[in-house]
Structure 1
Amino acid sequence: MIGIDLELSSCVVLLAGDKSASETTAERLRAEGCELLLAQDAPQAMAYLEQAGLLVICDHDPQRFDPVLAAAKIPVLHATPAENTGSITLLGGGPGALDLMTLRGVRALAEAQVVFADRLGPSEHLALLAPQAKIVDAGKLPGHHKLTQRQIEAQMIQAARDGAKVVRLKGGDPFVFGRGFEEVAAATAANIPVHVIPGLSSCITVPSAAGIPVTARGVNTMFTVLSGHDPLGEHQLKHLAQLGGTIVILMGMGTIEATVAGLLRVGMSRDMPCAIVQSGTTEVQSTSHAPLWDLAAAARAHSNPAVIVIGEVAALPQSLLAQASGASAGAEALLEAAS
């Protein structure tokens, strides 16, 4: 029942009201076994009126359905609308390939009413993933932001206050250089329900897609992830060079010359293996390998988005290829000797 003692099973019910306001009432009516006719405005409700045995109005502005009330010759009920507050979901879209987004993320986009999308991640597939959603381009390029961070937060909060399910789609994981916690804090301060759906971070997945493990038994036991937007001081560079682990740099193409010069200056071997992986996990992925001294020159063949890997593990794919090539040449020599 929905507040009074009526047998509603198999009843055709016209539910008039905004979708976000009437969604809970619709669920209750379906649970009662009703056949629902849904109308979000008065003209639509008028068109359905003759087919219904019961009219239920559930809206924050019920007066807009007064013409329907006047024309109704069936019982009428008024249901309490749901609170007119939506939610914000921070979604990590992964490193770029559509099939590396999580199932939970796909579901969130399918239900989204507004999506604020970054330029990285699978934003090009939003027409498929969120066909009913309004898409807001919140992408940022170095030195050019269509919306400031504060504007993004304000617009998301306003959309949620208007009752929308808002998804903030980011590349990688929202908590890895994604300013995700700032947006969680802003939503919390505004009393907006906020959720986080993690994503596969490019700091691990992109090297992996190029055959580079960020850790490898017998080679290293740690890795450090850096943002290329925030230059390291001399003290930090020195400690980083002495750690002996893998260095993974995101958003570092614009500062790669300064990074290389700094690491060489504090004593890192000029022959340290390095790699650059552009558009990792996608069909246009490309990879270059170079020693540290030549890394900046190798970077000229690449553009963003790219991940930079510095450390002994960067040489592992090439060493594996060399071993495979050597084994193949040895097999050919054996076959020739046996013939």
Structure 2
Amino acid sequence: MLEAEENQGVVYLIGAGPGDPGLLTLRGRELLMQADIVVYDRLVHPAVLDYARPEALRIYVGKASARHTLTQEEINALLIRHAQEGKRVARLKGGDPFVFGRGGEEAEACRAAGVPYIVVPGITSAIAAPAYAGIPVTHRDAASSFCVITGHERDDGKESGRRTTGSAEGRRDWARLAHAADTLIFLMGVEALPEIVARLQEHGRDPQTPVALVQWGTWPQQRVVSGTLADIVDRIREAGLGPPAVCVVGEVVRLRERLRWFDDPQRQPLFGKRILVTRAREQASSLVELLRIRGAEVLEYPTIRIERLKDTNELDKALQSLNGYAWIVITSVNTVPVIAERLEALQLDARAFSMTKVAAIGPATANALREKLGIRADFVPTEAVAEALIDQWPDSEMRGKRVLLPRAREAREVLPERLRAMGAIVDVIPVYETVAVKLAEAVVENLMTGSIDAITFTASSTVKNLMQALSRGADDLEVRARLRSVCLAAIGPVTGQTLKEYGFEPTIVAEEHTIAGLVKALESYFAQRD
């Protein structure tokens, strides 16, 4: 594999896939994480950009019909200039860079300029979009071949963004294309659809041949319109479906009726719902994954960032004398990696807990203890709140017993107070803090346009920090008014109460105070509404 020499620039031509961020290849992610510059297209999912380093410069060069931010020649020059400055340039392209992605032109420009380049193939929308619509491009009973065709030939008007007749149009031999394969797949063909269906019928394709257009294939806003060559233009016009869309022509389209899965509300109960996740990025992955599996479009706005406290002396002393504690209470997943790190630094392991019982609030925290420390919690309350832990506390005699409570700096006092009321000696040691994150403009914009269906809150701190961030904006009152029309989903009663304290009645308070319980509550809510 070609790699750039030290201090030498390189261009990575990376296929970002058709949209679903899970379809980015491992190699593509690896090189994206190394890049100094990220040059990306309109159809690259924002979540893919999250793999880039925070300090990497992001440059948008998206193209849409009649709207180009930069011409192709300008993009070529941009890639070459940054690479010649010694930068690692990731050129992120929707789908596959060599399938109507102009990757070949960019590679030619790099070669001519003497700039090293690496090509990372991507999953093309020509196959992925039909697949997400439940349409296999081949099937032993329906099609043994497929052909991928551009619906938008090279623009001889030099990047005007409008389809113009030129010499390139002569390459389209419709008499040959009409019967080139059982399944015909047209990319970028929405504007040219009337011409495409007319030409195919003119050259012998049956007017009753099934046709489907898949708009925003693999994205949560995916839409599919089916018909035949005879009526698909009218159906598309009635549906108001526009680009980007993949057009599939052939008998395989009939299979959608029984193979539909991605946009099937029975299998994807949250399909098409746009849900804002306010959880800290360090914690958000499990919630984001569950929501996406169920078809939701997830917007991530971590209202808080988890920061470990630098002074670990107090925690280190406690861990070195754990056998002096009857119990250690772990209240959050965030505490577990801190303890794991300090045990390693102190050259200790799970044996340090041999004389100490472990209580964990919530199954997620218990799982983290098991996975990261190899410790099985002695006690996990049925509800993931401090009150439940005290109400169900298994040790009937706590007088004089020592309890270690490593936790967030700003945590509630209910737990240590009630343990002390039971006669326990409680050592509270802050090990991390939650830091507010500046409100992203995109969040306000989505709220103001009414395009957010639900906001999830997994802790009181996420409520507080979102409200504080909103209060610093000029549109505070109007944004807050918009919030009242959004489903506000709290993971449990404590978080729900915090919403009430800010003047908002929670739409959902999950009965099971876990991430899975929160997702289940969202499913039930939208199922009843829809």
Aligned to 1:4: none
Contact 1:88 1:195 in 2 (8 A): yes
- Residue 249 of structure 1 aligns to a residue whose secondary structure is strand
Contact 1:210 1:277 in 2 (8 A): yes
Candidates 102, 120, 124, aligned match of 1:201: 124
The TM-score, its normalising length taken from structure 2, stands at 0.43
Aligned to 1:265: 202
Aligned to 1:289: 226
In 1: Cα distance, 2:217 partner to 2:34 partner: 28
Aligned to 2:351: none
Aligned to 2:438: none
In 1: Cα distance, 2:25 partner to 2:6 partner: 30
Contact 2:15 2:96 in 1 (8 A): yes
Q: Considering only aligned residues, what root-mean-square deviation do their CA atoms show, in Å?
A: 2.2
Measured at CA, do residues 166 and 245 of structure 1 come closer, stay the same or move farther in structure 2, by a change above 3 Å?
same
The answer to whether the aligner puts 1:249 opposite 2:249 as a matched pair is: no
In 2: Cα distance, 1:317 partner to 1:158 partner: 47
Which amino acid counterpart does residue 141 of structure 1 have in structure 2? A
Aligned to 1:168: 91
Candidates 108, 114, 118, aligned match of 2:41: 118
Contact 1:110 1:131 in 2 (8 A): no
Structure 1 unaligned residues grouped into runs of 5+: 1-23, 25-81, 322-339
Aligned to 2:255: 316
Contact 1:115 1:134 in 2 (8 A): yes
Which amino acid counterpart does residue 245 of structure 1 have in structure 2? D
Aligned to 2:272: none
In 1: Cα distance, 2:173 partner to 2:98 partner: 22
Residue 93 of structure 1: CA displacement?
0.2
Residue 182 of structure 1: CA displacement?
1.1
- Residue 309 of structure 1 aligns to a residue whose secondary structure is strand
- The alignment of Structure 1 onto Structure 2 pairs a total of residues equal to 241
Contact 2:35 2:52 in 1 (8 A): no
1:283-339 deviation digits (Å, cap 9, x = unpaired) = 111111101111111222212211110001111122668xxxxxxxxxxxxxxxxxx
In 2: Cα distance, 1:94 partner to 1:183 partner: 18
Which amino acid counterpart does residue 238 of structure 1 have in structure 2? A
Which amino acid counterpart does residue 247 of structure 1 have in structure 2? L
Contact 1:234 1:262 in 2 (8 A): no
Residue 84 of structure 1: CA displacement?
4.4
Measured at CA, do residues 243 and 149 of structure 1 come closer, stay the same or move farther in structure 2, by a change above 3 Å?
closer
Which structure 2 residues correspond to residues 1-339 of structure 1 after superposition, within 5 A? Answer: 84-123=7-46, 125-230=48-153, 236-300=173-237, 301=239, 302-318=241-257
1:241-260 deviation digits (Å, cap 9, x = unpaired) = 23451000100001101111
1:195-249 deviation digits (Å, cap 9, x = unpaired) = 0011000001110111111111032211111111128669822222234510001
Which amino acid counterpart does residue 49 of structure 2 have in structure 1? L
- Residue 18 of structure 2 aligns to a residue whose secondary structure is coil
Measured at CA, do residues 83 and 200 of structure 1 come closer, stay the same or move farther in structure 2, by a change above 3 Å?
closer
Structure with a larger share of its residues in helix: 1
Measured at CA, do residues 193 and 317 of structure 1 come closer, stay the same or move farther in structure 2, by a change above 3 Å?
same
Contact 1:215 1:221 in 2 (8 A): yes
Percent identity reads: 42
Aligned to 1:47: none
In 2: Cα distance, 1:116 partner to 1:141 partner: 16
The TM-score, its normalising length taken from structure 1, stands at 0.67
Measured at CA, do residues 209 and 113 of structure 1 come closer, stay the same or move farther in structure 2, by a change above 3 Å?
same
- Residue 89 of structure 1 aligns to a residue whose secondary structure is strand
In 1: Cα distance, 2:25 partner to 2:259 partner: 31
In 1: Cα distance, 2:152 partner to 2:212 partner: 19
Which amino acid counterpart does residue 278 of structure 1 have in structure 2? Q
Aligned to 1:325: none
Structure 2 unaligned residues grouped into runs of 5+: 154-164, 261-530
